[in-house]
Structure 1
Amino acid sequence: MGKAQHLFLAIVLAASCGAPAIAETPPPIVAPEGERFTLTPAEGGYVRLNKETGALSYCSVKDGVTACRLGAEERAAFEAEIDRLQKENAALKARAEAAPVPPAARPNIAPSEEEFERALSFTERFLRRIMRLFREETSPGGAL
């Protein structure tokens, strides 16, 4: 038997065993350039390829709603990332609670007695000086 006869026999056996011919498989629905996903028809739905990450998911349409499920590897990767972020969030919260609060960041806290007296002293000195300037300006020997 020659090579051509072997090839013919292989094609006949594949067709007789119920294997679908290559031409029967619909081509993938290729997204336009710049699009992120490519859909390939599969039994009962589509296989979606994320061209940026290489992730595959199985999508089906039921009652007009498309639902896509992640593959096992992608789900494990997402769950690992969620776990990492939860731990990082907890560590940041603990660090924020342990950090001292600077005085300027204390909301709704009245000034201490010393701070109040100091502010009052500045205000009093300012008003006395202003009053003195007004008296000097309005006096008969003043500039006005």
Structure 2
Amino acid sequence: MRFLTLRLGLFALALAPLSALAAETPQIIAPESDRFTLQPTEGGFLRMNKETGAVSFCTAKEGLATCRLGADERAALEAEIERLRAENARLKLASRAPPPSTLPSEQEFERAMSFTERFLRRIMRLFKEEAPSGGSL
């Protein structure tokens, strides 16, 4: 057990300079696709989206990259937010409106009742015709 503890301690000691080096120099991980390009600038780097042309200013601090949107991207996002707000308001109004009436009109109701009445009269007539005359079951 003591031997295992000693080996783990030596392993951790060997990794210490590597972890310090990794903490000092932030790693920029390139995306899997070639969608973005990174260009170093004073105080950070510019990230350009090759598909849309949108540019963001990025900084790396304590191993964490933070990007701020450019003015064009921000305007596009604000326009989308406004569109979604308007759609949300429209949907809320639509949900408050009373649902359209699914009840039949008076004429449709009377027609259905007429069919029902004729059906019942015909059934009653058939029962009377088919009923045994005066005999017991």
- Give the TM-score category using the shorter length: 0.3 to 0.5
Q: Which has the higher contact order (CA 8 A, sep 6+)?
A: 2
Question: What TM-score does the superposition give when structure 1 sets the normalisation length?
Answer: 0.42
